[in-house]
Amino acid sequence: MPKGEKKKVVVIGVGFGGLQAIKKLSKEEDLEIIAIDKKNHHLFQPLLYQVATAVLSPADIAIPTRSLIGDKKNVTVYLGEVEKVDIQAKKVTFQGHSESYDYLILAAGAKSGYFGNDHWKKYSIGLKSLKDALSIRTKILTSFEHAELAGDPEVAKKHLNYVIIGGGPTGVELAGSIAELSHEIVRNEFHTIDPALAKITLIEASPRLLAAFAPKLSEFAKMRLEKRGVEVLTGTKVLEIDQNGVKIEGRTIASSTVIWAAGVQANSIGASLGAPTDRMGRVMVDEFCNIEGHPEVFVIGDIANYSKGLERPLPGVSPVAMQQGRYVASLIRGDLKSKKRKPFHYLDKGSMATIGRQDAVAQVGNFRLRGFFGWFVWLFIHIFYQVGFKNKISIFITWVWSYITFRAEARLIQDEVEASSVGSSTPN
């Protein structure tokens, strides 16, 4: 590369993968980096459920993108949604603006996927963004208020029915946290109703919860959730979601609050590359995280299907995205020095899910943890990987306070109540 000539890297998405790539590439003075994201913040998604259940505030798990990378001299940050990627012209178009590139890193993430039943979106809420988390929080908190004013026990009962669809880590964590909120935290704050009568139902289509975990850990999670008052339905398929609730074989579960945690769909911008995609819309990549025929285009994280030499594609979890982000940054830096590329290898650091206070499951290879020790490790790992020192301290203090007092202080309903809306509104 001629002296003084800089290569341009465009990074779409500043989530776990994109952020790791940018941090590593920013150390290379011979690179110009353009970061594009439709959100102005980096989000720590594993703790979204705690915002949804009023344990944490949004600022505890999100940090402005510019405060993370905006001060780096060779990084330019743009707020915008990418409309088109032209891999032949090596150009990205967004917000009426375009940028050419020498290298492209697509790390645009995923959204909730409904397996072809998109009409279910109208009657349920996913959990992939701060907006989703705040919508769920508002839905849960107002359900208590609606029930308090309902006057009719049957109507109140429907308001206090919560259905979570999907028995992966997100579904399990949500179910446990909603049970804790309703059965313990707000129980003495209402006088017409008893929030402890709230019914939480967790539905999973496969035979057990937490399918990626060892069967004994799955069974432990199920047992602990049931002990907290959660009805767990495994091997149960959802047939329909409508204004009345959730229909499964043999019955309908009446509910005002249905949360979708069962599936994801890759960001649609991946399809614009013209490369093959799987049924979830993830872009098929080779052993270097490239699309076929384009060594300058990298696709990583939730939007990528990396399955080279594997029985199944790598899961859409933050450790995969982070490792891929650092890997592709190393490849680009290696290209500048004419180094031979080496295939990506994922180091599985294990999986974990919290069930509630003093209860979690974790596994790394053949090593298993559950109960209090699993919960303690879960706390440490999530503090360690949180971005930003202020956020680490804020979350730690909040967790300690919540543990001591058994309170959730982020119970704020942002919207004002309109006349005659509380207690008389139609669920969903």
The fraction of the chain above a pLDDT of 90, given in percent, is 75
What is the structure's pLDDT at 154? 81
Question: Does residue 165 belong to any structural domain of this protein?
Answer: yes
What is the structure's pLDDT at 416? 79
Do 242 and 273 lie in a common domain? Answer: no
**Distance (Å, whole) CA 409 – CA 162:** 21
Do 198 and 125 lie in a common domain? Answer: yes
Number of folded domains that form the chain = 2
End residue of a domain, out of 320, 336, 352: 336
pTM of the shown model: 0.91
Lowest mean pLDDT among 83-92, 164-173, 174-183, 375-384: 375-384
Question: Does residue 200 belong to any structural domain of this protein?
Answer: yes
**Distance (Å, whole) CA 144 – CA 158:** 11
What is the structure's pLDDT at 421? 58
From the candidates 145, 173, 180, 204, which is the catalytic residue? 173
Question: pLDDT tens digit string along 306-326?
Answer: 999 898 999 999 999 999 999
Question: What is the residue range of 290's domain?
Answer: 7-112+264-336
Q: What is the domain-level CATH number for residue 72?
A: 3.50.50.60
What is the structure's pLDDT at 128? 94
Q: Are 274 and 266 in contact (CB under 8 A)?
A: no
Q: Which residues contact 416 (CB under 8 A, 6 or more apart)?
A: none
End residue of a domain, out of 231, 262, 293: 262
**Which phi-psi region, left, alpha or beta, contains residue 371 (left: φ > 0; alpha: ψ -120 to 50)?**
left
Question: Does residue 413 belong to any structural domain of this protein?
Answer: no
Residue whose C-alpha is closest to residue 366's, from 348, 386, 345, 392: 348
Cα separation values, 71 from 38, 44, 68, 77, Å: 19, 21, 8, 10
Cβ burial 316-354 (10 Å sphere, 16+ → b, else e) = bbbbbbbbbbbbbbbbbbebeeeeeeeebeeeeeebbbb
Angle at 314 between CA 27 and CA 274, to 5 degrees: 80
3-state DSSP assignment of residue 66: helix
Question: Does residue 364 belong to any structural domain of this protein?
Answer: no
363 bridge partner residues: 351, 368
Question: Does residue 400 belong to any structural domain of this protein?
Answer: no
Question: pLDDT tens digit string along 188-228?
Answer: 899 888 888 899 999 999 999 999 899 999 999 999 999 99
269 secondary structure, DSSP code: G
Question: pLDDT tens digit string along 48-107?
Answer: 999 999 999 999 999 999 999 999 999 999 999 999 999 999 999 999 999 999 999 999
**In 129-220, where do the E strands start and end?**
161-165, 199-203
**Distance (Å, whole) CA 194 – CA 174:** 20
Tokens representing residue 293 in the block: 């025929």
Do 252 and 210 lie in a common domain? Answer: yes
**Which phi-psi region, left, alpha or beta, contains residue 38 (left: φ > 0; alpha: ψ -120 to 50)?**
alpha
Do 214 and 278 lie in a common domain? Answer: no
Do 241 and 145 lie in a common domain? Answer: yes
Examine the residue annotation and report whether 145 is marked as an active-site residue of this protein. no
End residue of a domain, out of 336, 352, 379: 336
